[in-house]
Homo-oligomer: A and B are copies of this chain.
Amino acid sequence: MVDNPRVGVLGGGQLGRMLIEAANRLNIQVNVLDAAASPAKQISAHDGHIEGSFKDAAAVKKLAQISDVVTVEIEHVDTNMLEEVASEVIVEPSWKTLRIIKDKYAQKHHLKEHGVAVADSIDLEGKGPDGLKEVGTQYGYPFMLKSKTEAYDGRGNFVVKSEESVDAAIEALGNRPLYAERWADFRLELAVMVVKTKDGVLTFPTVETVHEDSICKLTYAPPRDVSEATAQRAQDLAKKAISAFEGKGVFGVEMFLLKDDSLLVNEIAPRPHNSGHYTIEACPISQYDAHLRAILDLPISQASLRLREPSIMLNILGGKTPDSHIQVKNKALESPNASVHLYGKGDARPGRKMGHITITAPTLAAAEREMQPLIDFVDEQNGKPLGPRIDSASTQPAPLVAVIMGSDSDLPVLRAGLEILQKLEIPFTTRITSAHRTPDWLREFSKNASSTSLKVIIGAAGGAAHLPGMCASWTQLPVIGLPVKATHLDGLDSLLSMTQMPRGEPVATVGINNSTNAALLAVRILGAEDLRVRERLRVWMEGNEVEVLRKDGALLEGGWEAYLKGMGK
């Protein structure tokens, strides 16, 4: 690679703009081929840009002549011309890859050949309504009818619901090269940005994508209600898929998570992708940095692709009025953790991608709480019934502490501790999970605990008091044991049952009936990481110190007899 390589990019929309934002920081010249004043050109003042269409072969050739590496922000380009210029300039990713991916049927076929799980599909080129009806017989209804080319954001797709809708399908897409896909009954959609470098294949974290009217609306990193193991499987599948293609750069891999927990690749984009916008704020290296580094053979490592904080991205799509995106931007500026990106596209048109908002927060739950008013705002703006809402329970902060008890008779003992948690603003939940009367429920609760928002469990129990010890055996979370004084032995039975756990599964035991200390220990554990919690605890402890010093002053001043009298003793 030459020193100071110039990058040529086909297309100057928002993806090109954010690519240039990354390039500007490293002082890399990016030559854009697109219309004058396109989004990307607005933030790049030099004379290397070319005015024209990225579909125009002559313009592509001109771009190649003044660039050292040519890349794309869109796959619907003239790959014949890219093949031609590839003898004189580096083209990344390879024109071969672009040629396969721009034809969705060829893409699926290629993936299947390389052992990557995709939905079944049937070529329909040259086949009329009868071909579609055959698909209906073979796949059942509904099935997807898709255009092989020029299809994105739902354009070029048609859901064939029954034999009766075959004619409507032909009318909608009949003049395009078509194929059919078996319906994927998915639970939710996941996506992974993959980085292909000269040395190997790296992955950004798995995100959940939410589409509305077939356009990406939201991404969640990490995904909601998806286990870490499944997220890892999605990264592995995405890696496998991209390993099947030639060339360097970032690739977006969209996947279905089916109801049986299996994964299918839905679609690949050979470039930065909407599902990777969140990386700008949420990761040390964004997908745009990663793309530049990959195509320019600059260093990049998996460690750069970690999540700094959970994040949610909301697209700003054009609404009913030309300034709808400005209204969303203004609303988003009121949100403390929101980063707002406008793409410089002029007036809004319905569904046009005008910008996006990324919120990062210490927990995904906190990001969700902050994002919800913005989702409501855009839904209202678009006259939509307010979409799938976070129910009122989960607009409460997600619980960090679970207080579990063997029996409701333990609840009065717990009161003082629960009050402390409330006072110190620790979100918590209380559950009855008897080790002996509901052993399966305790097992289920304990096994799932670490996949929730919970970080500490307090288990209160009397007598044999197996509750916290059994819980500790099924979870990796810290478990605090609160021995409750039962009928005999003054609580010593419970205390010893908790402390004397075998090597391997500790229970952090506090004093008999001392729920205050159980709660304060939970607060200390949370405060080990969260300095705001630690500060609240410090202030609380200072208050106790002041109170005892005040009493000492009163005792000194009034003498012990008056003090006792004041105590009514």
- A-to-B contact residues, CB < 8 Å: 21, 24-27, 41-46, 228, 281, 284-285, 293, 298-301, 303-304, 308-309, 329, 333-334, 336-344, 360, 416, 450, 455-456, 476-480, 483, 495, 499-501, 503-512, 514, 516-518, 520-521, 524-531, 534-535, 537-538, 541, 544
Q: Output the least CB separation between A546 and chain B (Å).
A: 13
On whether the beta carbons of B528 and A501 are closer than 8 Å, the reply is no
On whether the beta carbons of A508 and B480 are closer than 8 Å, the reply is yes
On whether the beta carbons of B504 and A333 are closer than 8 Å, the reply is no
Q: Output the least CB separation between A198 and chain B (Å).
A: 14
On whether the beta carbons of B520 and A504 are closer than 8 Å, the reply is yes
In the assembled complex, the Cα of A506 lies from the Cα of B285 at a distance in Å of 42
In the assembled complex, the Cα of A343 lies from the Cα of B27 at a distance in Å of 7
In the assembled complex, the Cα of A499 lies from the Cα of B528 at a distance in Å of 20
Of the candidates B303, B506, B520, the one whose C-beta lies within 8 Å of that of A521 is B506
On whether the beta carbons of A526 and B528 are closer than 8 Å, the reply is yes
On whether the beta carbons of A508 and B508 are closer than 8 Å, the reply is yes
- Looking across the interface, which residue of chain B has its beta carbon closest to that of A338? B284
In the assembled complex, the Cα of A477 lies from the Cα of B544 at a distance in Å of 17
Of the candidates B25, B27, B510, B535, the one whose C-beta lies within 8 Å of that of A508 is B510
In the assembled complex, the Cα of A455 lies from the Cα of B534 at a distance in Å of 11
On whether the beta carbons of B504 and A544 are closer than 8 Å, the reply is yes
Closest 10 CB pairs of A and B: A508-B508, A506-B517, A303-B336, A529-B529, A478-B524, A455-B528, A506-B521, A503-B516, A45-B45, A27-B342
Q: With contacts A21-B24, A525-B525, A528-B456 known, is A336 near B301, CB below 8 A? A: yes
Task: Please give, as numbers and ranges, the residues of chain B lying within 8 Å of A499 by CB-CB distance.
Answer: 483, 495, 499, 509-512
Counting chain B CB atoms within 10 Å of each CB, the highest count among A25, A42, A334 belongs to A25
- Looking across the interface, which residue of chain B has its beta carbon closest to that of A474? B541
In the assembled complex, the Cα of A42 lies from the Cα of B30 at a distance in Å of 12
- Looking across the interface, which residue of chain B has its beta carbon closest to that of A370? B303
Counting chain B CB atoms within 10 Å of each CB, the highest count among A344, A506, A518, A531 belongs to A506
On whether the beta carbons of A304 and B507 are closer than 8 Å, the reply is no
In the assembled complex, the Cα of A455 lies from the Cα of B527 at a distance in Å of 9
Task: Please give, as numbers and ranges, the residues of chain B lying within 8 Å of A340 by CB-CB distance.
Answer: 25-26
On whether the beta carbons of A500 and B512 are closer than 8 Å, the reply is yes
In the assembled complex, the Cα of A2 lies from the Cα of B418 at a distance in Å of 52
Task: Please give, as numbers and ranges, the residues of chain B lying within 8 Å of A507 by CB-CB distance.
Answer: 510
Q: With contacts A344-B27, A511-B500 known, is A529 near B455, CB below 8 A? A: yes
- Looking across the interface, which residue of chain B has its beta carbon closest to that of A506? B517
Counting chain B CB atoms within 10 Å of each CB, the highest count among A342, A507, A525, A531 belongs to A525
Task: Please give, as numbers and ranges, the residues of chain B lying within 8 Å of A514 by CB-CB distance.
Answer: 500-501, 503, 506
Task: Please give, as numbers and ranges, the residues of chain B lying within 8 Å of A333 by CB-CB distance.
Answer: 293, 298-300
- Looking across the interface, which residue of chain B has its beta carbon closest to that of A37? B45
In the assembled complex, the Cα of A476 lies from the Cα of B424 at a distance in Å of 13
- Looking across the interface, which residue of chain B has its beta carbon closest to that of A524? B478
On whether the beta carbons of B42 and A284 are closer than 8 Å, the reply is no
Task: Please give, as numbers and ranges, the residues of chain B lying within 8 Å of A42 by CB-CB distance.
Answer: 24, 44-46
On whether the beta carbons of A517 and B529 are closer than 8 Å, the reply is no
In the assembled complex, the Cα of A514 lies from the Cα of B503 at a distance in Å of 7
In the assembled complex, the Cα of A516 lies from the Cα of B501 at a distance in Å of 11
Task: Please give, as numbers and ranges, the residues of chain B lying within 8 Å of A531 by CB-CB distance.
Answer: 228
- Looking across the interface, which residue of chain B has its beta carbon closest to that of A20? B43
Task: Please give, as numbers and ranges, the residues of chain B lying within 8 Å of A27 by CB-CB distance.
Answer: 342-344
On whether the beta carbons of B510 and A510 are closer than 8 Å, the reply is no
Task: Please give, as numbers and ranges, the residues of chain B lying within 8 Å of A527 by CB-CB distance.
Answer: 476-478
Beyond A25-B340, A42-B46, A504-B517, 6 additional pairs, beta carbon < 8 A: A43-B45, A45-B45, A228-B531, A284-B338, A285-B336, A476-B541
In the assembled complex, the Cα of A538 lies from the Cα of B24 at a distance in Å of 43
Of the candidates B41, B506, B538, the one whose C-beta lies within 8 Å of that of A45 is B41
Task: Please give, as numbers and ranges, the residues of chain B lying within 8 Å of A416 by CB-CB distance.
Answer: 503
On whether the beta carbons of A284 and B228 are closer than 8 Å, the reply is no
On whether the beta carbons of B508 and A509 are closer than 8 Å, the reply is yes
Subset of 13 A-B contacts with CB under 8 Å: A25-B342, A299-B334, A478-B521, A499-B499, A500-B511, A503-B516, A504-B517, A505-B517, A506-B521, A506-B524, A508-B508, A509-B509, A525-B528
Task: Please give, as numbers and ranges, the residues of chain B lying within 8 Å of A308 by CB-CB distance.
Answer: 308-309, 360
- Looking across the interface, which residue of chain B has its beta carbon closest to that of A454? B528
Q: With contacts A303-B336, A336-B303, A342-B27 known, is A508 near B534, CB below 8 A? A: no
Q: With contacts A301-B336, A525-B528 known, is A501 near B506, CB below 8 A? A: no
- Looking across the interface, which residue of chain B has its beta carbon closest to that of A307? B531
Counting chain B CB atoms within 10 Å of each CB, the highest count among A43, A477, A499, A541 belongs to A499
